[in-house]
Structure 1
Amino acid sequence: PAQMMHPAGPLAAARAGAVLARLTPALQAEAADLAATLREIETARALQREGIADLASGLAALEAARDQLGGAIAGRGAEDPPEAALRAGRDAETLTALAAALARQPGGGGAEAAASGDWLWPVRGRVLAGYKAPDASGARRPGLLLGAPALSLVEAPSDAMVRYAAPFLEYGYVVVLEADDGTLIVLAGLAQLAVSAGAPVARGELLGLLGGRNLEVEEYVMLPDADAGAGALETLYIEVRHGGGPVDPGPWFAGENG
């Protein structure tokens, strides 16, 4: 009893005992909460490891599929454009001038028609610059600039004839399609072509691929949620020429993109 006596006396010993009687259960409850939190963290880490493994497997399969598609595109051996198209490409200094030159060639132009509103968007992405809106350099272009994930498939918006499919200036590969009503669709910024000039294409048919690269697993994990699905965006420029000049492409496409 003497050893258990508080130095300040019996009253202080009683007070210390009361404090410990309340403190010990509280510490035990906190320890139990920490143990439960630790178990949740361990479970989350295990799920994260499984998710990363699944993501790595999916990315590897995607890379293999893209390589196979790229090989198939390369195996088609795109033909050189007709001489008239080549001459138009050499003489034109802008995409609008190229489209205007192609429209003047035989087969260019056609029936007057209002915007159809049922074309497919060539890529699934978002509009970065609208019709005649200033782009990053301040230039106002008579078309739309779309942002899409790297290596996106570029598809034909409608049934059309390929009037031009070749590199053009700094735009990479450019495809100019002539729809059934004579409307010209200019698509600029492709990294690979799957069609050649003079070939007919159906609505939704593959025209080529955008550039870029697949993200690594670590990049997907570290990127913010808003960017993890796409990474750095590639761009595709769309210009529509109808009735003698460029028009707003937006009304020609079905619904909102993205």
Structure 2
Amino acid sequence: MMLRALALLAVVIALPGAGRAQDDTVQAATRAAEQLDRAITLLDAAEEAPDRVAALTETTRAFESGLAAMREGLRQVSAREAVLSRDLQAREGEIARLLGTLQVMGGAGSPVVFLHPAGPVGTARSAMIVADVSRGLDERAASLRAKLDEVRVLRELQESAAARLSEGLRGVQQARTDLSKAVAERTDLPRKFTEDPIKTALLIASTETLSAFASGLTDIGDDERAVDLPTVRDRKGDIPLPVLGRVLRGFKEADAAGITRPGMVLATRPRAIVTSPTAATIRYRGPLLNLGNVMILEPEPGILFVFAGLDVVYGGSGDILPAGAPVGLMGGRDPDLGAVLSVADASEDSGSGRSETLYVEVRQDNVPEDPAAWFRGMKD
């Protein structure tokens, strides 16, 4: 009976644990914090930058990237901490059973105390098993200590994240405010044409579709001049997305109401910055049809990038923008710190926190094309 109990104990100790500490989780959260630190440094430097619009655009994007990375890092930390906590709770019952078995076997005595009725051979065999059990207990105790240490580190990260996230939220709000002011004060942009507001109003009133409006865009400007911008046709498939987000609906994919559009919809976070993916001319900016605020960019004759659903739009029709220039902000409100932390606990796949949508359409010779064929990382 004694040998059977010892054998069962050895089997229990040999069961696999939760594995080694996942250093990648801690490193991901640490890198996210470093991204926010970099954004804060950029914000301080933007005040003295020769091109404040470009500097503040980079700063705003850096804050958005850092906050997104921090959310993802916290999500991983929370998930890892939950796994470890469940594992440790399960081990509590296992440890209790192990201690109970040891007490039945005679407490904390040395192996020679465990005499076996079969004589010296049986006693020797039981002593060897007990020695194995002792080594197994030491290994299990070391494993548990490592897990407890990891839980402590993860919880410290979660506690310190609140202050870092709060600072990041204040920073991105300040960067957006400074950016809006810098854009309003900008006077150095070249112009391709001067918009005729009467012609624009007539075009809007007389069209019912984006296609019809796009076909008349060249008629709303005066004094249009030729501009030699870098071609984008040879960059097809390698153009950066205008906003940090994920695809919610693809080209001509039906929405919940069964409506299809010849573009894609990106889910973004509130107040996300939208930038010009290439050097381009603003052909139109403002409200249009049922699309909300619209920005129509012309990187070269015959090609249009249409962005719809913005809350704030920057610049004016006829302005020539460099690649990466800000064209507007998404709507919504920045979440408070508690909401950000709760989003970090949710699955990223659920789209939690991405409450705004940007509609993106690419038109070549006024024919819609699949934006996934134009923007980087959209095709496998």
Asked if the contact 1:166/1:173 (under 8 Å) is kept, the reply is: yes
In structure 1, distance between residues paired with 2:277 and 2:323: 6
Please state whether the residue corresponding to 1:86 is helix, strand or coil: helix
Aligned to 1:82: 196
Q: Does 1:129 align with 2:249?
A: yes
* Aligned pairs (5 A) from 1:25-64: 45-64=155-174
Aligned to 1:255: 377
Structure 1 position 207, deviation (Å):
0.9
Instruction: Note the residue ranges of structure 1 that are not aligned, 5 or more in a row.
Output: 1-17, 24-28
Structure 1 position 130, deviation (Å):
1.4
* TM-score normalised per structure 2: 0.51
* TM-score normalised per structure 1: 0.72
In structure 2, distance between residues paired with 1:47 and 1:55: 12
In structure 2, distance between residues paired with 1:39 and 1:119: 45
In structure 2, distance between residues paired with 1:98 and 1:159: 22
Aligned to 1:67: 177
Aligned to 2:337: 217
Change (3 A) 1:45 1:91: same
Please state whether the residue corresponding to 1:215 is helix, strand or coil: coil
Structure 1 position 139, deviation (Å):
0.9
Structure 1 position 103, deviation (Å):
5.3
Asked if the contact 1:99/1:186 (under 8 Å) is kept, the reply is: no
Asked if the contact 1:115/1:251 (under 8 Å) is kept, the reply is: no
RMSD of the TM alignment (CA)?
Answer: 3.6
The structure whose RCO (Cα within 8 Å, separation 6+) is larger is 1
Change (3 A) 1:168 1:227: same
Please state whether the residue corresponding to 1:177 is helix, strand or coil: strand
From the two aligned structures, give the one with the greater helix fraction: 2
Give % identity.
36
In structure 2, distance between residues paired with 1:234 and 1:194: 18
Structure 1 position 229, deviation (Å):
9.1
In structure 2, distance between residues paired with 1:136 and 1:228: 17
Which of 87, 92, 95 lines up with 2:210 in the alignment? 95
Q: Does 1:246 align with 2:356?
A: no
Q: Could you report, residue by residue, the CA deviation over 1:160-209 in whole angstroms, capped at 9, with x for unpaired residues?
A: 21111112234221111122232122111111112110111122211111
Aligned to 1:157: 277
Q: Could you report, residue by residue, the CA deviation over 1:43-65 in whole angstroms, capped at 9, with x for unpaired residues?
A: 65544322212222222222222
Structure 1 position 89, deviation (Å):
2.1
Please state whether the residue corresponding to 1:61 is helix, strand or coil: helix
Q: Does 1:118 align with 2:233?
A: no
Asked if the contact 1:128/1:146 (under 8 Å) is kept, the reply is: yes
Structure 1 position 19, deviation (Å):
5.8
Instruction: Note the residue ranges of structure 2 that are not aligned, 5 or more in a row.
Output: 1-102, 109-136, 188-193, 225-230
Please state whether the residue corresponding to 2:258 is helix, strand or coil: coil
In structure 1, distance between residues paired with 2:253 and 2:163: 43
